[in-house]
Amino acid sequence: MALNVRIVTPRKIVFEGVAEGVQAPGELGEFGVLAGHIPLVTTLKPGTVVIHGSPRRTFKVGTGFAEAGPDRVTLLVETCEEIESAALAH
């Protein structure tokens, strides 16, 4: 089972796709979401979001909110920038 994932800023949809899982920087600590997750709404602090899929994608995000359910994750964030995978190697 897969997750439908969306990352949305006030200006645009930065990412929309299917993933195996998502890691995000919650206000109370980092959390992960896999398919079948219980409904969740939480605040986000600035940090790194990792979308586990093929390929794995990494984003630097600002503050915002996350809503998760059994088959979806939506991140509403002030800012979002994808981190190039080559930049992670350095």
CATH of the domain at 29: 2.60.15.10
| pLDDT tens per residue, range 24-46 | 999 999 999 999 999 999 999 99
| Alpha-carbon gap, residue 75 to 34, rounded angstroms | 15
- In a domain? residue 90: no
Specify if 58 maps to a domain.
yes
Give the residue numbers spanning the domain of 35: 3-85
d(CA 9, CA 28): 22
Q: Is the pLDDT of residue 90 over 90?
A: no
Tens digits of per-residue pLDDT, 12-22?
Answer: 999 999 999 99
Given a cut of 60, whether residue 54 has pLDDT beyond it is yes
Number of independent structural domains in the chain: 1
The residues, any chain, with a CB within 8 Å of residue 11's CB and separated by 6 or more, are none
pTM of the full predicted structure? Answer: 0.91
